[in-house]
């Protein structure tokens, strides 16, 4: 039984904050940092190796960069380094999580193939579906859904939700949510709003690729999950999840 974090390195100070939390946690057995070959990727790779070498942290450089491409490369390296029994925790550097989250994510993933956390206070549709900003997958699930769709790197991503829909269609498996929220810093402004609009359009476009009964089952499952786990979230995320179930 092991959990290995797969960390996206889009911001170096955030990478170090996240790795500081991960390397000292007893339920996390290693970390692989994904870095681009250009921009600040080489500097980040050197810094991570210098600071965390020998502490169970490895670096993987992706060239050319693509998020799904990077994830798939990371899964292959984790398989080769830690073994295919390891659960892979996809994690962005700005996500904050409680001490109970790693073990809970691993257990949820082993039961359902995917475990994930809802984001506290987020009501936008792209935040109400499983995201690789904080989601754990078994190697078996990754193989069964065929890896993350690298063609989605050309648009607005959402490879995570696409994988959830594929698992539901092909295996009848539905992701399991944590019994606690995870957190990300407050975001806003025109650039963030544009990102949300693009991601929302991608969510709806992905749903159009799959049979309506599959989509309805997934969205109803997410809505019910949030209602059961977080009944106190009656007016903000819960209302939005109910809306997310309509197409």
Q: Are 124 and 243 in contact (CB under 8 A)?
A: no
Positive or negative CA dihedral for 120, 176, 6, 1?
positive
> CB of 212 within 8 A of CB of 197?
no
**Domains of the chain with bracketed CATH:** 3-244 (3.90.550.10)
Question: What does the pLDDT read at residue 191?
Answer: 86
Q: How far apart are CA 211 and CA 48, in angstroms?
A: 44
Parallel, antiparallel, or unpaired for β 114-116 and 3-8?
unpaired
pLDDT at 208: 95
Q: CA-to-CA distance for 167 and 148, rounded, in angstroms?
A: 12
The pTM of this model reads 0.92
- pLDDT given at position 38: 83
pLDDT of residue 238: 41
Q: Would you call the peptide bond into 100 cis, given omega within 30 degrees of 0 as the criterion? A: no
Rounded Cα distance between 52 and 205, Å, is 41
Q: What is the pLDDT of residue 192?
A: 86
Distance, CA of 43 to CA of 226 (rounded, Å)? 40
Closest CA to 222 of 139, 159, 135, 138: 135
Residue ranges, the chain, pLDDT below 70? 1, 10-12, 185-186, 230, 232-247
Residue carrying structure tokens 């993987």? 60
* CA pair distance 245, 91, nearest whole angstrom: 25
Q: What is the pLDDT of residues 126-152, one digit of tens each?
A: 988 999 999 999 999 999 999 999 999
Residue with tokens 């209602």: 227
Counting beta carbons within 10 angstroms of the beta carbon of residue 227, is it exposed (0 to 12), middle (13 to 18) or buried (19 or more)? middle
Tokens representing 210 are 């799959």
Q: Which helix (H) or strand (E) holds 4?
A: strand 3-8
């Amino acid at each position: 039984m092991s959990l290995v974090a797969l960390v996206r390195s889009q911001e170096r100070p955030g990478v170090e904050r996240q790795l500081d939390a991960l390397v000292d946690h007893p339920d996390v057995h290693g970390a692989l940092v994904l870095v681009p070959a250009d921009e600040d990727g080489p500097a980040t790779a050197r810094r991570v190796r210098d600071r965390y070498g020998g502490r169970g942290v490895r670096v993987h450089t992706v060239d050319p960069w693509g998020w799904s491409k990077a994830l798939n490369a990371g899964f292959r390296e984790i398989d080769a380094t830690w073994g295919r029994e390891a659960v892979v925790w996809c994690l962005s550097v700005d996500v904050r999580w409680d001490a109970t989250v790693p073990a809970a994510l691993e257990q949820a993933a082993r039961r359902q193939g995917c475990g994930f956390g809802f984001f506290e206070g987020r009501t936008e549709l792209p935040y109400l579906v499983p995201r690789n900003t904080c989601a754990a997958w078994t190697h078996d699930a990754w193989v069964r859904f065929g890896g993350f769709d690298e063609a989605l790197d050309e648009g607005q991503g959402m490879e995570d939700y696409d994988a959830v829909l594929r698992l539901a269609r092909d295996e009848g498996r539905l992701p399991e949510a944590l019994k606690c929220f995870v957190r990300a810093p407050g975001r806003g402004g025109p650039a963030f709003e544009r990102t949300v609009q693009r991601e929302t359009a991608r969510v709806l476009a992905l749903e159009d690729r799959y049979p309506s009964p599959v989509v309805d089952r997934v969205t109803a499952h997410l809505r019910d999950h949030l209602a059961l786990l977080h009944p106190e979230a009656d007016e903000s995320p819960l209302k939005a999840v109910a809306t997310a179930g309509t197409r």
